[in-house]
């Protein structure tokens, strides 16, 4: 409850339920659909729109980080520290890569009137054929 208040969010019943599932110190990646299933499996009821809106509110408050995997597919990352990801499309799984394990020698200059805010690396992986 304190963490929600400190982030400027009123601790509603729905926010508390989602915070209990996501903000327990484990680093993981969840989609809105996956979290909705997890909520149902825990015997709770929450509209899908409420789950999605709450995930966005947590992201805006800095409690989660949105990772765009491709096109419109995003997941929410409980690890808000700067880091990168491997993405396995076959399993639709993200795997964290510590930020210091990716070294970029150079970056292009940002277009005129812009500045680089951050760099996120997504390395797509596939299972080896054995």
For residues 11-26, average pLDDT = 93
Integer CA distances (angstroms), 127 to 91, 95, 124, in order: 10, 14, 11
Q: Are the C-beta atoms of residues 32 and 48 closer than 8 Å to each other?
A: yes
pLDDT of 11 > 70? The answer is: yes
Among 100, 92, 6, 22, smallest CA distance to 54 is for 22
pLDDT tens string 36-71: 999 999 999 999 999 999 999 999 999 999 999 887
Q: Are the C-beta atoms of residues 31 and 75 closer than 8 Å to each other?
A: yes
Q: Are the C-beta atoms of residues 32 and 18 closer than 8 Å to each other?
A: no
pLDDT tens string 76-119: 999 999 999 999 989 989 999 999 999 999 999 999 999 999 89
> How much is the pLDDT for 130?
64
Domains of the chain: 2-77 (1.10.10.10), 83-125 (no CATH)
């Amino acid at each position: 409850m304190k963490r929600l208040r400190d982030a400027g969010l009123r601790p509603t019943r729905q926010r508390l339920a989602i915070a209990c599932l996501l903000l327990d110190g484990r680093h993981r990646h969840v989609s809105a659909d996956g979290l909705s299933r997890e909520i149902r499996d825990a015997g709770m009821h929450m509209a899908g729109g409420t789950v999605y809106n709450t995930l966005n509110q947590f992201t805006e408050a800095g409690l989660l980080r949105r990772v765009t995997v491709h096109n419109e597919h995003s997941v929410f990352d409980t690890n808000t520290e700067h880091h990168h990801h491997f993405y396995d499309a076959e399993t639709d799984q993200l795997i964290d890569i510590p930020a210091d394990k990716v070294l970029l020698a150079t970056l292009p200059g940002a277009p005129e009137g812009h500045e680089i805010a951050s760099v996120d690396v997504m390395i797509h992986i596939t299972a080896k054929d054995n």
